[in-house]
Amino acid sequence: MPGGNGVAGTGNTPSTTPPQGYNGGASGATNYDGGGGGGAGVAGSAANGVLGGAGGNGILSTITGVATYYGGGGGGAGDSNVDGNGGAGGLGGGGRGTGAYYPVQGVAGTANTGGGGGGSRDQAGAAGGSGIVIVRYKSSPFGTYTSSSLNLGSAVPGMTMSWLASGVNTGNGETPYSTSGMVAQWNFNETSGITAVVMVL
């Protein structure tokens, strides 16, 4: 939720498990400064004097293979016509608030993070960042080949293999000339056992 002025907002309403966000921080008693917006993982901080509260941090995810925060709260608006008095945005794309007067506005939430926008002193807060949907699925291995006789880690005495090259040289013996119509590809990179794992299907 974006940072702003007034009573602290209530996150995770109606209550769900796991939580869908945390409370925003309380605003200042006499100034225009606002509390930070609640993040997906941590509540927003309360305003302090002329300083806006910091947005709460979002949640850390490794679904893409890179640890990334999502759903950070927006920083609250500050006061005294000082841009830097706005609260910091929470980790996960939360935008920083501003303490400057109109027409300066807080910083928008980062796209594709779901982060909240930063609060503004005497106008609407900045827009929140767009969300993102990430679908993770297992792509390899799709199948295996098991030999009934050959152990890849065992020597076979008296056996030699030879062949004549034909076709197009793709460089390393594993890169196919074309994958059009391919059903499966076994690279036989295993160094022991009787099972080879399919790499492409």
Q: What is the value of pTM for the model shown?
A: 0.66
Apex 56 CA angle, 52 and 59, nearest 5: 160
Q: Where are the domains of the chain?
A: 1-137, 139-201
Cα–Cα dist 12/127, whole Å: 20
Residue 9's pLDDT band, with cuts at 50, 70 and 90, is low
CB 117 within 8 A of CB 73: no
Write the pLDDT tens digit of every residue in 62-104.
998 899 999 999 999 999 999 999 999 999 999 999 999 999 9
**Which pair of tokens denotes residue 18?**
């796991």
- Residue 4: predicted pLDDT: 43
SS3 11: coil
DSSP 3-state of 59: strand
Q: Cβ atoms within 10 A of the Cβ of 61, count?
A: 15
Output the pLDDT for position 2: 42
